[in-house]
Amino acid sequence: MISYQIEQSFEAVVIENDDLMVKILPQLGGKIYSLVNKRTGREWMDRPSGRVFRRPVPGTSWGDWDRCGWDELFPSIDACNFPGPYLAGTAVPDHGEVWSLPWSFSQIGTDGIRLYVNGNIWPYRLEKTVCISDNSVEFNYKLTNYSKEPLPYIWAPHPILAGSDSFEIKLPIGIDKAITSFSVNERLGKRGGIHNWPLATDCSGKMIDLSNMPARHTNAAEKLYLASPLMEGWCLVRDRITGEQFKMTFDPAQLPYLGIWINAGGWDGEYHIALEPATGFLDNLEESYACQKCAILAGGETRSWWLQVHIT
């Protein structure tokens, strides 16, 4: 079932069935601001009390706005300059640009919507469909490059889950190394530092389990990437107490890199976690292009990929 409501003066699309309720703000980057397990009542999306939605100014920092829910990150995650010969040196905003742009949308039957946005800094269109089926949310994406030139990009979802010290991260068997992209106070060293997964050693020599979310207000905040491309396309966050899970499945050939953002008060005092299967490595498009670890879409071409979220 699909319905519509007003959320702080913005039109919201509500998609729900007996298992799930998903709320989307097309005008605010196609943001999912609520994902509720109706069987248990759990709200998975982080939205701190009193957080106000405002229309972002394109080109500004993601951290200056509502900083919650599920945004789309494209064509970079870090602010940087565009790489490659076409538009070289053009500024790419923090967290990319599509989170700050209004998306157009249309309804698909009774259980989904199609959204799309056209780029400002490059001639492209990014589309996504969002549908629900039983306890799963199904995303299908399509990127079209209207330029004659190849488009380098990083795409990643940014589903910010409300934190809990009973959360644990589960990954495919065999993953044993992670790399620091960002670490507050260099708790996990400088950018590019390699650590064992899940048991790592911090800058003080203390052993920490990176798969367990730290307690609130421990002033830790890290963005990590798995050191090697994924061979299996899944990752999940599990509540050890309730057994509830937020599981993402995807094609690792399309989304080979996995970013992990854990914030236990170290960044702006907030408490949340995000798993981010991505087309590029270590957040920065300029750097990932230089080391051939980003996606590139040929001029005039279209590429599709998918992602599913399973809530149990």
* pLDDT digit string (tens) for the chain, length 312 residues: 999 999 999 999 999 999 999 999 999 999 999 999 999 999 999 999 888 999 999 999 999 999 999 999 999 999 999 998 888 889 999 999 999 999 999 999 999 999 999 999 999 999 999 999 999 999 999 999 999 999 999 999 999 999 999 999 999 999 999 999 999 999 999 999 999 999 999 999 999 999 999 999 899 999 999 999 999 999 999 999 999 999 999 999 999 999 999 999 999 999 999 999 999 999 999 999 999 999 999 999 999 999 999 999
Provide the pairing of β-strand 31-37 with 10-16.
Answer: unpaired
* Residue 211 β-bridge partners: none
Looking at residue 209, its pLDDT comes to 98
Tell me if residue 10 falls in helix, strand or coil: strand
CB proximity list for 260: less than 8 A, separation 6 or greater? 169, 178, 210, 222, 223, 224, 225, 226, 273, 274, 275, 276
Looking at residue 88, its pLDDT comes to 86
Amino acid at 236: L
Looking at residue 217, its pLDDT comes to 86
Q: Where are the domains of the chain?
A: 1-155+293-312, 165-278
Task: Name the residue among 275, 173, 259, 187 with its Cα closest to residue 224.
Answer: 259
Strands (E), 119-226: 124-133, 136-145, 151-153, 156-159, 161-162, 167-170, 177-183, 194-196, 199-201, 207-209, 220-226
CA distance 276 to 259: 5
Looking at residue 308, its pLDDT comes to 99
Q: What are phi and psi of 26, to 5 degrees?
A: -60, -35
CB proximity list for 218: less than 8 A, separation 6 or greater? 264, 265, 266
* Residue 81 β-bridge partners: 91
CB proximity list for 17: less than 8 A, separation 6 or greater? 1, 111, 132, 133, 134
Whether the CB-CB separation of 222 and 150 falls below 8 Å is answered with: no
Q: Report the predicted TM-score, pTM, of the whole model to 2 decimal places.
A: 0.97
Torsion angle in degrees (nearest 10) through CA of 117, 278, 238, 164? -70
Task: Name the residue among 251, 231, 247, 248 with its Cα closest to residue 239.
Answer: 247
DSSP letter string, 108-133: ETTTEEEEEEE-SSSSEEEEEEEEEE
CA distance 13 to 110: 12
1-155+293-312: which CATH topology?
Answer: Beta-galactosidase; Chain A, domain 5 (2.70.98)
Looking at residue 304, its pLDDT comes to 99
CA distance 205 to 28: 43
Task: Name the residue among 58, 62, 56, 72 with its Cα closest to residue 126.
Answer: 72
Encoding tokens for residue 103? Answer: 């998306």
CA distance 186 to 198: 18
Whether the CB-CB separation of 262 and 103 falls below 8 Å is answered with: no
